[in-house]
A and B are shown apart, each in its own frame.
Chain A
Amino acid sequence: MTMHAPYHAPYWIALLVGIASGSVGPFILLRRMALVGDALSHVALPGIALALLYGRDPFYGVIVFLTAAAFLIFWLEGRSSVPPDAIVGLLFTASLAVGVLIMPDTEVIESLFGAFPVLSLPFLLLILSAATLLSVLCLLMTKRFLFVIVSPDLAKVHGLGRGNDLALLLIFAIVVALGIKLVGTLLMGALTIIPASIAKNLTRSMRPYVIVSSLLGGAISVVGVRIADTLRFPPGPSIVLLGVGIFLLSLPMARNRVKGGK
């Protein structure tokens, strides 16, 4: 019995973490946080390296570093005197560099680009239930996240404070943490953006957008893992390249943005 669960584990992780990535992606994209999000996923690397150095499961290093990074971005965004994007870019690429330097050699490629993880059953269940919970949370918070996207001022007048921003960052950080073993630190940020970018080309309103993005996230990840499994690739690049390919195919279906006018 215990042999079966680990064998299928990558597919289950791909499905549920893919759906969670697709659920949070639209909000990251519409808030124009795609690059910040991508940089954030790089912070995981020193977390992985430190955890390995101290003989711990890398996941714990990842979750601590990403949660801290989410709080850091939140704090920077609240300070109007500091341009957050430049600082986020510098700090996070620096953490990528530090991570590569202190990472044991054998783990570098796997940490950057993902691998088929060997997990215990309880750990697998933890990842799957957390991913499911985050997807549901995104659906429940769609109205709040959308309010801030449409008009931060109106959102504030209607009593929505910056707690929503922190919630979005934390959901994003934890989704990235859940998928990082499979997809890798360099590519996990992309997994949250790709399904949302494709779905944006295919839908015209928010409710279908979030649903289609979630389903695409799950589908692309599962098929990507299947391709990687068959061709013996690392799963990260396989998922990301499949996603980018579908994005290119979806471009002609993007609705005509020139029509209408202001």
Chain B
Amino acid sequence: MPNETILTVKNVSVTLDHVQVLRDVSFSVRRGEAVVVIGPNGAGKTVLFRALLGLLPYTGTVVWRAGAKIGYVPQRFSVERSAPITAMEFFLLQSPNFWRPNAAFISHLDHELTLMGLDRSVLHKNLGELSGGETQRLLIAWAMLPQPDVLLLDEPTAGVDAGFEDTIYALLHRVQIERGTALLLISHDLSVVYQYAQQVLCLNKRVVCQGPPVEACNPDALATLYGEPGYYRHQHDPGPR
């Protein structure tokens, strides 16, 4: 069912401390589709994700396909440096047996780590001692472990070396194609939108523009979104994707 809808969002509004931070957001995500959410700082992108995941109260409707497995890569993730928790134990949170994981779980874990370009030795490292890039890749591998139907990624390349950003997006694209995983991701990088997104959602407390990137991200829409015409204008050839 290639066009099966995984997520339907209708008129979602969020009010925090008596201030409306999101108003009437509506969109849908289909199986295997990549939807990129863009917008300036404070536009409510993370708030939208948190509302979709039930981490914040909202009005309106959020309907996930029945039984849909959701993976989430949060923007902020910090574990106390001195906490004796290894990366392996972080993954074991998803194992049916935390104290004695079975061989199938370990081999599946190895596979997902390899996919994210992580060496197995990372598992023995302390969670608080990982570099920003390692943490980010680990988080993505962690979210992909149960093979979710949809992945929500809040700026997945924050803290990752510039050279590795493209690798991460290419890997995510591969997962999208090979596993039919729907991607809903927040990014500041317009080239990501043009290169990988089937749909873009321009957010600035409300939906400013949405649709296929080439149509939705016209200069007028971007000017309205960011308030500075041309500043965020895409510099590369949009390409056929």
Contact = CB atoms under 8 A, between A and B. Distances in A.
B82 interface: yes
A207 B79 CA distance: 17
Interface string A115-156: 000000000000000000000000100110011011101101
A147 B135 CA distance: 16
Contacts of B77: 151
Contacts of B98: 142-143, 146, 207
B74 A154 contact: yes
B131 A261 contact: yes
B72 A205 contact: no
Interface in A233-260: 254, 257, 259-260
B53 A206 contact: no
A204 interface: yes
Given A142-B98, A157-B70, A205 B88 contact: yes
A254 B83 CA distance: 12
B85 A150 contact: yes
A207 B86 CA distance: 10
A206 B80 contact: no
A209 B129 CA distance: 17
A150 B79 contact: yes
A153 B131 contact: no
A154 B131 contact: no
Contacts of B125: 260
Nearest to A254: B82
A30 B53 contact: no
B85 A146 contact: yes
Nearest to B70: A157
A262 interface: yes
Nearest to A209: B84
Interface of A: 30, 139, 142-143, 146-147, 149-151, 153-154, 156-158, 200, 203-209, 254, 257, 259-262
Given A149-B85, A153-B50, A207-B99, 8 more contacts: A30-B80, A142-B99, A153-B53, A154-B72, A158-B94, A205-B86, A260-B126, A262-B129
